[in-house]
Structure 1
C-alpha cells in the first residue's frame, strides 16, 4: 500500500489547445470525453476497439475523442495539467496506474472508485499485488486497462550467434560475460541504451536482480535503504553494464536505441514489451526470476467530470473482461485481469499473460507505477549526470538517489 506525499500544486500552464475543426461534437449532456495520448498505430487501434465495446454497452452516452498526439504522453500530460488547473477536466483521462496519480489524489482531483471495484468484481479479477500497489490510504482511484512488462531484454540473434552465444543468460554475471564475448567478436557497443527513463529502466532491472522483489519494492516505501550496501553493489553492476553501452546514449530516445539492435550494431536492449520487432529474441532480465515489473495505462473519474454517469460506464467497460480482451488484442499489451483467455492473442502476449498470472508483480518508477513524476524526474537527472561524467562518481550517484528518496517517502 502506498501513502502519497502532499506536494505543492503545480503552477498554471499557458499551453492552449485549439479545438478540432470539422468534426460534429456529441451532445454535451451525453458525451463522454476520453482524454488519452492514443492517437496513432496500435494504441489508436486498441482505443477504437474499446470504443466499440463502450458504444454497445452504454446506450445514451457518446464517445468524444480527446486524444492529444505526440511525445509518448508528454504533450498530453501538459495539456491535461493546464485543464485541471483551470477546473476544466475531461470526463476521464489516461494516466499510468500507481504513484503517477498521487498528486491528483492529494489535491482531491480524482474520485474514489473502491466501491466500484467491488461491484465490478475487480478485486477477484486483478492480482492481489496489483490491487495493493493501486491502493492509497485504503482507497483505489483508477481502473487499469492493460499491463505492459518493463523488465524484458531484446536481442539480435545474428550477433549472438557470431559471438558463440547460444542461450539467454540466466544471471547478471552471465550477461556480463556475454557482453564481454560480444566485444571480443567485434561488436563495439553491445548494449543499446537511450537517455533519461531508458537508463532508469536498466537500473531498476539491476536492482531487482540484486535486491529481489521485496527489497526492490522497499526502495519506494522506505523499507529498503537507498544508502545501504545492497544498493551500492547494484550501482556497481549498473556502472559495469553502462560501460558496454553506446557512447551516444544521452542523445537517443528509445526507438533510436532499438534501431541499434535492428541494424545489427548492438546485441541487447533492456526495454518494455512495446519494443517488440520482427526478428528479435527476448527474455526476462537475468536474475529477475519470476518478477514481473509492470506498468499500466488506467482511467479515472475526475472531480467535476461533466458526465459522471457516462464516465462510470466507460470505466466499467475498461474494467470488463470483454473490454480488456478487445483493447489488448489490438494494442499488443495484455489484460490486467487474469481471467481473460489467450484466444486471439499473439504468442508473446499469451506467454506474458501466463507470467502475469504466476509471477511476482513489482511496479516501475520509470513508468510512474512506483514513484511520482517529480521523483522520477529527479532520478533521471541524477542518472544523466552520472552517464555524461568522464569520471563516474558512484558514491555521488548513491547519495543523490538516497536524498531524492528521503524527499518523497513519507515518514
Structure 2
C-alpha cells in the first residue's frame, strides 16, 4: 500500500463544513448551479482549485488552452475559490461532495491528507487503466506514485512538484553585510543578529491563514531531527514528546523573535514582497513563492532573489504536489478523463509549471523550459530524500487541524509543554 490507511474520515467534512461558514456564499451557489450542468452529461468540465493568484491563474489558463486545442468540444468552467491557502476551497468542496454534486475534478495534495480521505469515503474512482494507456507508470517516479496508491489502485494524476523547505533571501542585503545563506540554526541566529543590528527584519513572516507558521515549524522540525525521525513522527511511529521535538519547538520560538510584528495580518505574498523590497532579508516559504517573484514581481532568479534549503535540511526535499482525480459519482466521466490525459502529459505539464513557478515531476520533463531555481529544485527532487509536509498533504485532516490550533496557542503563549501535549493528543485522536 502506498498511502497509509488510518485517517479520521469524518473530520475532513466536519472541519471543512465548519470553515464554510467563513466563506462567501457566491462560490458555493455558482458551484451548485454549474454542477447541475456537469451532471446532466453534456460536454462541460468543472475544474475546482484554489489557484487564484496571478502566477497560478496564468498557469491554469495556459493549461486549459492546451486542453481546448485537443478537446474543443468540451467547455471548461474554472471553479477556483480564493482565500485561506486552499481552506476556503476545501470547505466549498466538502459541501458539494456531501450534497452529491462533485466537480469534474478537483485539486488536492499528494500524501496522507485529504486525497486519502476522499478515497476511503468511496468518492474517488481508480485510474489504473488511464495510467496504463498513457504509459505513466514509467513517466513518473515510483516514490511519487506510491503516495497516490491504495491497495494497488492509483487515484490521482500529479501536475506539479513543489519544495517546501526553501529559504528565500535578498542577495543585495546578504552581499552588503557579507552574509551567506545559513545552513545551520546557529548560523541563522548569528546572521539574524547582524541584520537586526542594521535595522533589517531578519525573517519575514506571514500568518494570515494560520498555515504559514505550521510550514515554518515543519521545516525547523525537519532540520532538527532529520528526515528519518521526521517521517516517523508523521507516520505515527515516533513520539511527539521526544527531545528533538522539544529542541525544535524552542528553536522555532527563538526564530519568531526575529520576525516582523505584524505577521498575523500578512498573506504569504506580502512576506515575500518584504524580502524582494529589502524590508526583510529572508523568508521561509514553499517554492510557489518563486512564481510570485518571477511572474508578479518580474524578478530574476539569482539576482532579484536567492534561495537555499532551510537550515539543517540539505539533502532532503520536503515535497508538496498538486494532484487531480476522478470523482466516483460523476454521471459523465469522459470530460474528466480527457482533462487528466492533458494534465499528466508532457506538453500539459511543461506548459503549466514554468508559469506557476513549480516544475513537472515527470522524468522526461524538459529542463530547458525552466529557470535556474526550478532546475536546481528538479535536480534535488531526483536525488534527495523525499518527505511530506504537515498541513500540505503530510498528515490527515483531523491531525492537521488540531496541529494548527496548537500552533496558534504556541505562537501566543510560548508554552512548549502545552504545545507538545496538544500535539500528542492530536496524534492519539487522529492516528497517523
Q: How many residues align?
A: 402
- Alignment-derived partner of residue 296 in structure 2: none
- Alignment-derived partner of residue 170 in structure 2: 156
Does 2:321 correspond to 1:308? no
- Alignment-derived partner of residue 288 in structure 1: 313
Q: RMSD of the alignment, in Å?
A: 2.5
Cα distance in 1 between the residues matched to 2:128 and 2:144: 14
Contact (CA 8 Å) 2:8, 2:430: kept in 1 or not?
Answer: no
* Correspondence 1:74-89 to 2 at 5 A: 74-89=87-102
1:159 deviates by 2.9
Cα distance in 2 between the residues matched to 1:6 and 1:162: 51
Deviation sequence 1:59-86 (CA, Å, 0-9, x none)? 6544333333444433322222221111
Cα distance in 2 between the residues matched to 1:270 and 1:39: 21
Deviation sequence 1:275-304 (CA, Å, 0-9, x none)? 232222211112111211111211110011
1:270 deviates by 0.3
Does 2:16 correspond to 1:4? no
Note closer, same or farther for the CA distance 1:85–1:215 as it changes in structure 2 (3 Å cut).
Answer: same
Moved more, 292-301 or 176-185: 176-185
Deviation sequence 1:84-130 (CA, Å, 0-9, x none)? 11111122112222222222122111112234334333332222322
Contact (CA 8 Å) 2:109, 2:115: kept in 1 or not?
Answer: yes
Please give the secondary structure, in 2, of the residue aligned with 1:405.
helix
Cα distance in 1 between the residues matched to 2:146 and 2:185: 29
Alignment partner of 2:407 out of 363, 383, 390:
383
Note closer, same or farther for the CA distance 1:70–1:233 as it changes in structure 2 (3 Å cut).
Answer: closer
Alignment partner of 1:322 out of 331, 347, 358:
347
Cα distance in 1 between the residues matched to 2:250 and 2:168: 23
Contact (CA 8 Å) 1:169, 1:286: kept in 2 or not?
Answer: yes
Contact (CA 8 Å) 2:8, 2:397: kept in 1 or not?
Answer: no
Contact (CA 8 Å) 1:32, 1:310: kept in 2 or not?
Answer: yes
Cα distance in 2 between the residues matched to 1:332 and 1:160: 23
Alignment partner of 2:155 out of 125, 136, 141:
141
Cα distance in 2 between the residues matched to 1:241 and 1:128: 36
Note closer, same or farther for the CA distance 1:60–1:162 as it changes in structure 2 (3 Å cut).
Answer: closer
Consecutive unaligned residues of structure 2, counting only runs of 5 or more, are 294-298
Consecutive unaligned residues of structure 1, counting only runs of 5 or more, are none
Note closer, same or farther for the CA distance 1:116–1:253 as it changes in structure 2 (3 Å cut).
Answer: same
Cα distance in 1 between the residues matched to 2:119 and 2:8: 9
Alignment partner of 1:208 out of 222, 237, 245:
222
1:262 deviates by 3.0
Does 2:254 correspond to 1:232? no
Does 2:424 correspond to 1:402? yes
* Correspondence 1:41-56 to 2 at 5 A: 41-56=54-69
- Alignment-derived partner of residue 138 in structure 2: 124
Cα distance in 2 between the residues matched to 1:36 and 1:375: 22
- Alignment-derived partner of residue 194 in structure 1: 206
1:58 deviates by 4.0
Cα distance in 2 between the residues matched to 1:275 and 1:161: 22
Contact (CA 8 Å) 1:144, 1:297: kept in 2 or not?
Answer: yes
Deviation sequence 1:144-201 (CA, Å, 0-9, x none)? 1111111111112333334331x222222222221122223333x4111122211111
1:345 deviates by 1.9
Please give the secondary structure, in 1, of the residue aligned with 2:317.
strand
Deviation sequence 1:15-41 (CA, Å, 0-9, x none)? 4424799xxx89942222222233452
Cα distance in 1 between the residues matched to 2:314 and 2:244: 18
Contact (CA 8 Å) 1:110, 1:302: kept in 2 or not?
Answer: yes
Cα distance in 2 between the residues matched to 1:360 and 1:176: 26
Moved more, 392-401 or 135-144: 135-144
Please give the secondary structure, in 1, of the residue aligned with 2:124.
coil
Note closer, same or farther for the CA distance 1:44–1:216 as it changes in structure 2 (3 Å cut).
Answer: same
Contact (CA 8 Å) 2:204, 2:275: kept in 1 or not?
Answer: yes
1:325 deviates by 0.9
Please give the secondary structure, in 1, of the residue aligned with 2:195.
helix
Moved more, 290-299 or 250-259: 250-259
- Alignment-derived partner of residue 341 in structure 1: 366
More helix by share: 2
Contact (CA 8 Å) 2:47, 2:103: kept in 1 or not?
Answer: yes
